[in-house]
Structure 1
Amino acid sequence: MSGQHTVAHDTTATAERTTAAREVRVGPGRAARELGLKGTEFDLAVQLGRIRATPDDGGGGLRVDRAEIERLRAGPGFPEALRRSVQAVGTAEGAALIDVTKTRFTRLARLGLLVPVKFYLNRYRAVVWLYLAEELSLFAADDRNTPLLAGRTPESLRSLLDTGIDLRPRNWRARQLGFMLRRADDPWARAGAVASLLDPLHVSEAVPDAHDRSYLDRFRRRPPFHGAPGSPAAEPAEELMTARDPDEIAWLQTDLTRLTEEARAHRPAPRPAPHRPGPARRTREAVKPVRGTSRGLLGRWWRGNR
């Protein structure tokens, strides 16, 4: 009986510790509610590092420590200040915020002077870029940017616009890479973050070893868009996630080669066990045909079928 009592006591204690741990760390939904954020705002706050979240030990997604929630709730201007820090606006609202026309706003974004933080697809599957309102306000408040907000656009910038330049996808990818690297806690995960922005051909050029590439693929991140891979709704996101410019590709490949070498030194990629031949099978002893038996049977068959 004493043994059974000990087992029951241990089980109860373990359950109590598990319950206490769950109370200390909460899931994204509960954390967002307690911080007064929408789900999309919470996700962006985590990406930007405004909220510190860690992977769940059981593989159930992100968790937020109770202490982190209390830290944010005790911050000045909560919850309005936290919501403002993750407020994302489109072209029309962004243009009004910095007091320019929508056309000028788009030109500034195409030139890479305004960097999108996220995007969504409208009902026509067209890309709609969103920008941090906080960053737009800082851009407008900088006196060095005053000539860009009023008057004629400088000739050098107009020439770039005439070439069809659009740095919004590239700048978004760079920012997305920063988000992924911030959450990567393993050398292979860091290499996988870079690989997420390259197509398979460019990955194979940077990482020639097939076993390394196979392992690396486990750490590649999907585009931040809810759509089945390969579906029409997901295609625009997959295209935006993939580097297109030659210099961007070269830069990412250089980083990928370096990070993969570092990851391999930290922990080599798994490789299949070498093939070991099993014990040799015993061959049947050759039976010498008895004269007049095997040859006789074959002979009779042959004579009967002539």
Structure 2
Amino acid sequence: MTGHTITQEVADTAAQTTVTQSRAARELGLKRGEFELAVMLGRIRTVSDTVGGRRRVTREEIERVRAAEGFPEAWVERIRAVGTTEGAALMDISTARFTRLTRAGFVTPVKFYLNRYRAVVWLYLAEELTQFAEAKVNAGLLTGRAPSTIRAQLEAGVDLRARNWRGRHAGALLRQSDDPWERAAAVASLLDPVQIAEIIKDPYERAYVRRLVPEPFGQGAPESPAVRIIQKITTAGDPDEIRWLRANLTISLSQARGHRPAPRPGPKPGPGPGPVDSAPEPASGPQAELDARPSPHPAPDREATRTGRPAALPEEEPREQAPEPRGLLKWLRRRGT
């Protein structure tokens, strides 16, 4: 059995033990959004066959989820995401108070999307909202007047929803990253290109990290209003957050470089060594006898070939030319012709 056949059999076996995420969602009976949220929360584990490749789901993981208690109804309920109105109803508070709590950072969003008016719609995990409302320590936040510190922050325009979502999103990306360079790319995905260029000086490392960065949320022209809104949400803007991400990216890069260097193009092939002049070995046999015979056609003279003038024949000597007449005698001869 050849090595190629063995490699092909190993690849076929690996393909049979894992499936794509879309197929795993169909086999589990989950909607696309439910499956993606479950992966983000770590409820469904994924694996990667190659660095930077699309992650897949093992057959064992599918069976584990199926065997979970309460699957699918109770299991799906634990990953249900709700908006502001439904979230406020779960916590038995007004939508205005719910919005103030989320802006102050007491509740962290798990997802967001833009509606048709390009307004940001934040989604929250229903299970977390219920737990927050049931905790006795939070009773003062659900009724009565909010503490003065929170009121001062909200009056100053503080809104921690995007920052808290980025922190949660970064944790999800790091959980799904098995390779040190992928982990560095996960942190870099939350920084703007200027910050990345300041930290990653090497252009080949920067290009490699950019290639491993997860797919962006917004699809469309880079300067479209929707893409700009999404970029503002997914890119760190707070100075403290930027410092924290820069420090983490520096540490991640150090670990990645110690693991293996970033790929670089190979050296360009230079000109090969010139021909070496050496005397040819004497031929032997019938061909040697033919080569030893005098050729009926002598080789052309090299000087004649270079200057373009015909060479003198071997049996002839160059004829001596008479000097041309000069002056008046030369003119008379022209008139006589």
Give me the TM-score of the superposition, normalised by structure 1: 0.80
Matched, 1:148 2:141: yes
What is the aligned counterpart of 2:215 among 210, 215, 222?
Answer: 222
Aligned pair partner of 1:24 in 17, 24, 27 = 17
**Change beyond 3 A, Cα 1:82–1:254:** same
User: Alignment partner for residue 82 of structure 1, among 64, 75, 95?
Assistant: 75
Tell me which residue corresponds to 2:34: 41
Cross-structure match for 1:204: 197
Amino acid across the alignment from 1:270: P
Contact 2:52 2:182 in 1 (8 A): no
> What is the SS of the residue equivalent to 1:71?
helix
1:173 is the counterpart of 2:189: no
| Contact kept? 1:196, 1:222, Cα under 8 Å | no
* Pairwise CA distance, 1:195: 0.7
Opposite residue 109 of structure 2, the aligned amino acid is: P
Q: 2:154 is matched with which residue?
A: 161
Alpha carbons 1:41, 1:87 under 8 Å: kept: yes
What does residue 241 of structure 1 align with?
A: 234
The one of 113, 126, 139 equivalent to 2:132 is 139
> Relative to structure 2, which stretch is displaced further, 52-61 or 173-182?
52-61
Unpaired segments of 5 or more residues in structure 2?
A: 276-306, 308-337
Alpha-carbon distance in 1 for matches of 2:177, 2:159: 29
The residue number in structure 1 matching 2:186 is 193
> In 1, are the aligned partners of 2:185 and 2:209 still within 8 Å (CA)?
yes
CA distance in 2: counterparts of 1:266 and 1:29, whole angstroms: 32
Aligned length: 275
Corresponding residue of 1:126? 119
**Alignment equivalent of 1:250, drawn from 226, 243, 246:** 243
Tell me: CA distance 1:261–1:56, structure 2 relative to 1, closer, same or farther (3 Å): closer
Q: Which residue of 2 aligns with 1:302?
A: none
Cα RMSD after superposing both structures? 3.0
Residue type of the alignment partner of 2:32:
G
Which residue of structure 1 lines up, in the alignment, with residue 294 of structure 2? none
Q: By how many angstroms is 1:218 displaced?
A: 1.5
Select the structure of larger CA radius of gyration. 2
* Structure 1, unpaired ranges of 5+: 1-5, 283-289, 291-306
Counterpart of 1:293 in structure 2 is none
- Further displaced range: 204-213 or 132-141: 204-213
Q: Could you tell me which amino acid in structure 2 is paired with residue 188 of structure 1?
A: W
Contact 1:206 1:254 in 2 (8 A): no
